[in-house]
Chain A
Amino acid sequence: MADDLDLTPAPSRPEASRRRALPTLVTLLVVAAIVGVLVKTLGDATLVFHEVDAAVELRTELGDGRFRVVGTPLPGLVETVVEGGSAVVFTLCSAGALADVVHVGDPAELLQPGVPVVLQGTWTAGSVPGLAGLATPADDGWHLRTDHMVVKHDNDYRVEQGRQADIESCSATG
């Protein structure tokens, strides 16, 4: 009977510890990753989206710092060239306020009037190239110079042939 039995002594603790080293390391890495994500998320003030009215109101405070702004492009998108690169110029509206935008680089594929976008950039003083092509520009001597654009879609999934989109009216006061 003794021949059939595996009576090898149990492995010593150091060997068992080595076997558990990888999961322990993974656990520590996961904890480090969670801390990293939280720090990155909570520590970056530019991640808040300002409505256009707040961005206009905070223009002095924001200075030349980068921030994010959310709004709906009004009809009239002008493609142009700024400092040798492609750009698109339009007027952004939210909360009853307007801001002219010069977005440098590739715009979002779904950039269209009526589809809300989140832009990241800075306030810039000076004239807006292509201003004449905009239907209802803010034209207040300032524009948003942005280089990061993402689309913020709505939660409406009612599909009917030819249905008009429910777009929040933007009766801007300028």
Chain B
Amino acid sequence: MTQAIASPDVSTGSRGSRVLGVATLLGLATLLLFAFGPTEPDIRLHPTTGEEIGQFDAVRLLYLHVPLAVLMYVAFVLCAVASAGYLIRRTPWFDTMAHAAAEVGTVFCGLVLVTGSIWGRPVWNTWWEWGDVRLMTTLVLFLMFTGYLALRRATVDPRTAALRGAIVALVAVLDLPLVNRSVEWWENRTLHQKSTLEELKIQDLTLFTLMLGFLVFGLVLTWLLLHRFRVGWLEREDAEHGIASAIAERRAAIDEGDVDAAVGEGT
């Protein structure tokens, strides 16, 4: 397997994933076209003064920020479910899935923080607001899953890494409801607005573009997960095959009577 991975014939792609990749790219292009093209800027008129108020063109960033945030939830929930699955079944499939979902979710979480910050500067008048409870809970989520990824690498034994990772993931995911409901539970500690979709204060092309964002970033998430899972699986097989082949080769050397070679010269 070690040789197979190094071979150019081995790829994490398949016909299906290539089609998905093309669809994802086309979807991203379409989303950007709608977000920065035909959708209207957020402009309303003050009922008394008639002045234009709103977020103006900055609202267009929400077609990226909001879907990224929602798909981040999906990735972390998937990580938690797979982690629970690992704790119950102890199979590598669950651990590999949990690891892949955590990695992709962390990337999405980072993008949520970055796009939110870029949007916040013109709309909120600040890049970052310490104390905003949704920002803080999201930052903690990002840090916890960064810690999850670091913790996995801090352990040599894959079973120990999987076990520790699963426990940390199940603790970290408890932050998700805090992130999501923070705007309701601590309304006076956040600049974030309440849910637009729950109150359906969005319509027509604006709603369509937001839904398109969910679909497109859903495709991005699926494509990334698929490839990251396959990379993780190949890495695992590579490591297991490397150990197995080393043992087999040393046994073969012993069988041939070449004890020095089997135990290593000079030992």
Contacts and interface: CB of A to CB of B under 8 A. Distances in A.
Interface of A: 1-2, 5, 7-9, 16, 20, 23-24, 26-27, 30-31, 33-34, 37-38, 40-41, 44, 46-51, 70, 75, 108-115, 118, 149-159, 162-165, 167
Chain A to chain B: the 5 pairs with minimum beta-carbon distance, closest first: A47-B131, A108-B125, A30-B147, A155-B193, A23-B154
Contacts of B44: 156, 163-165
Interface of B: 39-49, 51, 53-55, 59, 62, 122-126, 129-131, 133, 136, 139-140, 143-144, 146-147, 150-156, 188-189, 191, 193-196, 199, 201-206, 249-250, 252-253, 256, 258, 261-265, 267
A53 B197 CA distance: 30
Contact of A20 (B39, B155, B188, B263): B155
Nearest to B41: A159
Contacts of B48: 75, 113-114
A158 B202 contact: yes
Contacts of A165: 44-47, 53-54
A151 B124 contact: yes
A31 B147 contact: yes
A82 to B, nearest CB: 19
Nearest to B44: A165
Nearest to A13: B156
A150 B132 CA distance: 11
30 contacts: A1-B252, A5-B250, A7-B265, A16-B156, A23-B152, A23-B153, A23-B154, A26-B150, A26-B154, A27-B151, A33-B143, A37-B143, A40-B131, A46-B131, A75-B48, A75-B49, A109-B122, A110-B53, A113-B49, A113-B51, A114-B48, A150-B129, A150-B191, A151-B123, A151-B124, A152-B191, A155-B199, A156-B196, A158-B202, A159-B42
Nearest to B56: A110
Contacts of A46: 131
Contact of B188 (A16, A48, A151): A48
A1 B206 contact: no
A154 B131 CA distance: 19
A9 B267 contact: yes
Given A40-B130, A150-B125, A165-B44, A157 B151 contact: no
Q: Which of A8, A46, A115, A158 has the most CB of B within 10 A?
A: A158
Contact of B46 (A23, A49, A114, A158): A114
Contact of A8 (B125, B144, B264): B264
A153 B154 contact: no
A6 to B, nearest CB: 8
Contact of A70 (B45, B62, B188, B203): B188
Contacts of B49: 75, 113-114
Contacts of A108: 124-125
Contacts of B130: 40-41, 44, 47
A110 B123 contact: yes
Nearest to B204: A159
B201 A112 contact: no
Given A110-B123, A153-B193, A49 B188 contact: yes
Given A153-B123, A159-B40, A165-B47, A5 B261 contact: yes
A16 to B, nearest CB: 6
A30 B150 contact: yes
Contact of A150 (B126, B150, B196): B126
Given A33-B143, A167-B47, A156 B201 contact: yes
Contacts of B201: 155-158
Contacts of A114: 46-49, 51, 53
Given A38-B140, A47-B131, A167-B46, A2 B253 contact: yes
Given A164-B44, A165-B47, A7 B264 contact: yes
A20 B264 contact: no
Nearest to A30: B147
Nearest to B147: A30
A118 B188 CA distance: 10
